[in-house]
Amino acid sequence: MTLKEEIQFIMEKDPSMKSELEALLCSPGLHALLMHRIAHKLYREKCYVGARVIATISRFFTGIDIHPGAKIGKCVFIDHGSGVVIGETAEIGNNVLIYQGVTLGGTKLVKGKRHPTVGNNVVIGANSTLLGPIKVGDNAVIGAGSVVTENVPEGGIVVGVPGRVIKIYGKKVEQMDLTKLPDPMAQVMKCLLSRIDEIEAEVKRLREELERR
């Protein structure tokens, strides 16, 4: 992947960019990713302090916090970028569009895989949060402000808090109607009333037998 291809991808995804020179000089997402590649290379060579120093400098100038250990594919565009946080074990595929305020975070303090894996051709809306070692399938769309803690199928569209899949490749997903869920207390009361009727009927029968005697 060449720098020119990266810039062309930015031009495709950001209509506000008027020229390739503007994309090169004025895209914090591009600057953050270029610096991340250097930091990631140092991280793989176990030069952890140097990698974190570069990541810290990048965060200072771009407002984008990418851990050097994160694996990021080709043609990833972080639009605006301010407030984006990408954790150490996060993995991002190719042709991914990420808007401002996105967090790819973890939920555990133990070592190992604890951040999301994002597939190819994914769009992650502004201020959305993806937590834990979940997987986001190819061509998925995460709506702005969503909180996602479960796997997202390929082609899925996720919205809400907590995030729920409403469509898969444009086809609506049947959602459970919470207003039609059975009422457990009502079921218990119904069983009790039925049992009381049975007992009363049995008592009545016994009384009639005693009176006949």
CATH of the domain at 137: 2.160.10.10
Does the residue 98 lie in any domain? yes
Q: Which of 79-83, 106-110, 193-197 has the lowest mean pLDDT?
A: 106-110
C-beta separation of 125 from 99 below 8 A: yes
Q: Kindly state whether residues 93 and 67 are assigned to the same domain.
A: yes
When pLDDT is cut at 50, 70 and 90, the band that residue 168 belongs to is: confident
Q: Kindly state whether residues 134 and 206 are assigned to the same domain.
A: no
Q: Kindly state whether residues 129 and 197 are assigned to the same domain.
A: no
Mean pLDDT of all residues belonging to the chain: 87
Entry pTM: 0.73
Both tokens of 171, joined, read 């086809």
When pLDDT is cut at 50, 70 and 90, the band that residue 99 belongs to is: very high
Q: Domain count of the chain?
A: 2
Does the residue 162 lie in any domain? yes
Does 47 have pLDDT greater than 90? yes
Closest CA to 91 of 35, 135, 33, 50: 135
When pLDDT is cut at 50, 70 and 90, the band that residue 58 belongs to is: very high
Does 166 have pLDDT greater than 90? no
pLDDT given at position 178: 46
Q: Kindly state whether residues 135 and 159 are assigned to the same domain.
A: yes
Measured CA to CA, the distance from residue 33 to residue 94 in angstroms comes to 13
Does 109 have pLDDT greater than 90? no
Q: When comparing pLDDT for 169 and 95, which is higher?
A: 95
Q: Kindly state whether residues 46 and 121 are assigned to the same domain.
A: yes
Q: Kindly state whether residues 147 and 186 are assigned to the same domain.
A: no
Q: Kindly state whether residues 61 and 151 are assigned to the same domain.
A: yes
Q: Kindly state whether residues 20 and 84 are assigned to the same domain.
A: yes
Does the residue 73 lie in any domain? yes
Phi first, then psi, for residue 119 (nearest 5°) are: -75, -160
Q: Kindly state whether residues 30 and 64 are assigned to the same domain.
A: yes
Does the residue 158 lie in any domain? yes
Q: Kindly state whether residues 197 and 106 are assigned to the same domain.
A: no
Q: Kindly state whether residues 153 and 111 are assigned to the same domain.
A: yes
pLDDT tens digit string along 130-153? 999 999 999 999 999 999 999 999
The boundaries of the domain holding residue 142 are 3-172
- The β-bridge partners of 77 are 97
Does the residue 177 lie in any domain? no
Does 165 have pLDDT greater than 50? yes
Q: Kindly state whether residues 67 and 154 are assigned to the same domain.
A: yes
Handedness of CA 194, 195, 196, 198 (dihedral sign): positive
Measured CA to CA, the distance from residue 14 to residue 206 in angstroms comes to 85
Does the residue 92 lie in any domain? yes
Mean pLDDT value of segment 177-196: 72
